[in-house]
Amino acid sequence: MTMPARVVGEEKVKIKKSFVKPWMGIKYLFKKPVTIKIPFEKIEPAPKYRGFHTLDWKKCVGCNFCGQICPARAIEMTWLEVDGKMEKRPHPKVDYGRCTFCQFCVDVCPTGALGFTEAYYLSTGGSEEDLELFNWVPIHPDKVRELNEKFGDYRFPVEKIEKKADGTYVYHLRDGSTIEFKILGYGIRPPKKPTPTKPTAKTAEKKETKPAEKKENVKQAEKKEGA
Amino acid sequence: MANLEVPKELREEARKHDMYLTPISKDTYELFFGPQHMATENFSIILKMDGNRIERAIVNPGFLHRGFEKLAEQRPYFTNIALILRICVPESDVPENIYSMAVDEIMGWEVPERAIWIRTTVLEMARLSAWMFWIMGFGNEIGLYTAGQWAAAYRERLMRLFEELTGGRVYHIYTVPGGVRRDIPGDRWLRQLRDTVEYIKSKLKDFDEILFDNYIMFERTEGVGVMDKRFALKHAVTGPNLRAVGVPYDVRKDDPYYLYPELDFEVPVLKEGDSLARVLVRRYEIEQDLYILEQLLDMGPPSGPYMVQDPKLKNLPRFKVPAGDAYAHVESTKGDFGVYMVSNGTHKPYRVHFRGPSQSHGVTVLEELLKGARLADVPVILKTLDNCPPDIDR
Amino acid sequence: MAVNDNKVETVEKAEEKKPELPNTKEGNLVRELLEKAPYAEGSVRREKRIEFRVPAERIHEFLELASETFEMLMQISVVDWLKENEFELVYQLWSVSESVHAFVKTRVPRENAKLPTVMDIWPVAETYEREAHEFFGIVFEGNPRLGPFILEPREYEKHPLRKDFNTLSYVKTIYGEDFDRYDESKTNYVI
């Protein structure tokens, strides 16, 4: 059924001006204000509000769909080394200086590794060290949820990102725990040569032998897939 | 002739410091209006003033040019949704929807009924929140700030609803080619929407009292910025501005899309063509929007999927659209908002060209209407035309 | 639904279809206009959408005829077909009385693209032509206000919406190399 266009003219649209009516607004003086008194009152973001990302590192297959769909090119694939082992696939690193929070990356993720939480609050000072916070590899969703339940203020789960000279990153979470890993390189293809790791003596020796072999394996596997 | 006598010392001071007040002859000077001025939002007008009267106005846009059309050519189809909606800030759903409509047309998709219902509702909600935004701006420009504050508070309710539905407050990034991105959160959301509609409806009377019936509003707008029917058509003025000169053109009725053919609403038309007529037409349309939303809620969302089922959607970054072109347009609060899209069969659009309503009524029309107006009328004319500079710049 | 064929095919089809335009409001509109302007080709896309192809020399003449039924010029869209070395101009017309949208398409070569202005028919064309001139470098003869409009004066002669304009390299020349944040992996990323 199609409704016909009903055109109405002057008789309904026009109104009369009044000198008295504007004073009726005074009644609002006796009403409760709608202003929310931040920080004494809180506003909760809606459930499934598009906030910061989360990433299940185990599920991520490094397909770079997120990097391809990203309208702001905020995502770059990063090769990580955790506890001396290189992750088999690259993981997305999100730059919140660019991110538009459209969450298309979450939509396209084929394994559901990338997700998001309602946490949206991140403000820092202007120093180089502080700005590191805006460029992170998202952490596990359970950890972010846990932190948010503990503090309940929807802030960024990481308090400080410590960057060491050899490419090691230490995430100091808000509850005092840390996540440590090393960034080996960027891009879809694995880094050519693992930069020789020279951190504290004992672990480094172990690292140098094992990961090097593994990386070669990965490279070969990649080549096979590519061919 | 000149109502405003610029003191001699001031004029000399201005000449010395090369200030904005550049006297050309005795009473003629150049005045840069905007982009800092609230009414202009994001563009400036160079006014050649004769005392208090405007001799000539030159619109100077470009402060908001972000090259969307070029960038859209370099990004996949779905990605562009997050980009092009920034063209229209108060109702960001309009660019999303026309873009999706154009892609749907080229793809030959039948969008599911549930998605159509959601899209119509979202568009109407966007219209309503844009009206609130407009009341805020218009009230502020004519000095009735109270109405503006109220409108902002009511808009917040709509933004909460949007937040729950889409996950974003201002930029929703919700409508995508083939449907929408999320389902309705549940019956609770529908009830909340109905409550909000009822609430805003009950508050319209207060807006009437303080703003629309107010004699100050009448004094400020009556007989200001008059255009006639022929002029408006030749200048492709659309939307409420065209309806205020007596042409009942509404895209929702004349080129119906989505559920609008089934919806019953009135198209208000006035003949005067001055600022007052434009305001009254808009006032009436707010009522009609609430009425449309009520009808939509009575209808209820049909069951079914909210996204088209197509194997092509498995790989979104490489989603390809067959070669072809399409033009889609919807009725926004500012007028007829359209997009012309050309695809050459790849995963990126070959050309996306937007037609913002302010492109036609924000440059040539504005320059014509400002001729001979008083300086104090500039914000009134700007706001009653509902000029949106990002439409021009893009 | 839209007819999504290649350009060449539609042209051929339009020629074949000429005698058999559908007996609808749209078909009659096309027929009437083609009787007055036999040099043009016209077809019906779908309900409320019709299409014309007009040679560039007679575009002004045609649009003057069309303006009797199509009161509003909604937009002038330019498409840069780099391979064919042509600009396609699409005059988007809307008829308020008939509720029909018309595409009037014409093609001009990319080098020294020149067209007569349609400001005398629709004054609003001034804005659209200024935009098309700035972004594509098409000269509309008779439009007095062609020049820097939206872009900065230093960007005026660049014509950024042409297909051979490289956004990334332009940004690099203006903002320097450090604007590109992907020095480690230069894979597939533009701005």
Give domain A53-186's CATH number out of 3.30.70.20, 3.40.50.720, 3.40.640.10, 1.10.10.60: 3.30.70.20
Please tell me the predicted confidence (pLDDT) of residue A204.
Answer: 41
- Are residues B209 and A22, on separate chains, in Cβ contact within 8 Å? yes
The verdict on B222 touching C (C-beta cutoff 8 Å) is no
C30 in a structural domain: yes
- pLDDT exceeds 50 at position C105: yes
Quick one: pLDDT at residue C6?
46
Cβ separation A186–C190 shorter than 8 A = no
Q: Which domains does chain B have, with CATH numbers?
A: 8-60 (no CATH), 68-361 (1.10.645.10)
Q: Which positions in chain A touch C191 (Cβ < 8 Å)?
A: 73
Q: Can you give the pTM of this predicted structure?
A: 0.84
C179 in a structural domain? no
- Strands B44-50, B53-60: pairing is antiparallel
Name the neighbours of A, counting chains with at least 3 Cβ pairs within 8 A: B, C
Cα–Cα distance for residue pair B260/A4, rounded to 1 Å: 11
Cross-chain residue pair A14–B210, CB shorter than 8 Å? no
Contact across the interface for B351 and C2, Cβ inside 8 Å: no
The 3-state DSSP class for residue C132 equals helix
Q: Is residue C72 domain-resident?
A: yes
| The predicted structure's pLDDT at residue B5 | 60
C189 with A187: Cβ contact below 8 A: no
B336 with C74: Cβ contact below 8 A = yes
C87 at B interface, C-beta within 8 A: no
8 Å CB contact of C99 and B255 = yes
State which H helix or E strand residue C82 sits in: none
- For chain A, give every domain's residue range: 53-186
Residue B357 near chain C (CB below 8 Å): no
Q: Give the domain extent around C46.
A: 7-154
List the CATH number of the domain containing C17.
Answer: 3.30.460.80
Query: Do A187 and C185 make contact, defined as CB atoms within 8 angstroms?
Result: yes
What was the pLDDT predicted at A33? 83
Residue C101 lies in a domain: yes
C80 touches chain B (CB under 8 A): yes
Least reliable range by pLDDT among A208-217, C42-51, C120-129: A208-217
Interface of A with B in 51-80 (CB under 8 A): 65, 68-72
Q: Evaluate whether residue C181 is within a structural domain.
A: no
Of chain A residues 156-185, which have a CB less than 8 A from chain C?
185
Has residue C54 been placed in a domain?
yes
CB contact (8 A) between residue A187 and residue C191: no
Comparing CB atoms, the residue among A68, A73, A186 nearest residue C185 is A186
**Contact residues, chain B, for C99 at CB < 8 Å:** 254-255
Residue ranges, chain A, pLDDT below 50: 198-227
Instruction: Count contacts between A and C (CB, < 8 Å).
Output: 20
Instruction: Please indicate whether, in this complex, the C-beta atoms of C182 and A188 are within 8 angstroms of each other.
Output: no
Q: Does C190 touch chain A (CB under 8 A)?
A: yes
Q: Does A7 touch chain B (CB under 8 A)?
A: yes
| pLDDT at residue B12 in the model | 67
Residue C169 lies in a domain: no
Q: In terms of Cα–Cα distance, which of B250, B226, B253 is closest to B335?
A: B250
User: In chain B, which residues have pLDDT < 70?
Assistant: 1-7, 9-27
pLDDT at res. A92: 87
Residue A5's contacts (CB-CB under 8 Å, 6 or more residues apart) are B248, B250, B253, B254, B267
- Number of folded domains in chain C? 1
Tokens at C57, concatenated: 């020399």
Count contacts between B and C (CB, < 8 Å).
106
**What's the gap in Å between the CA of C39 and the closest CA on chain B?**
23
Query: What's the whole-number mean pLDDT along residues C99-121?
Result: 88
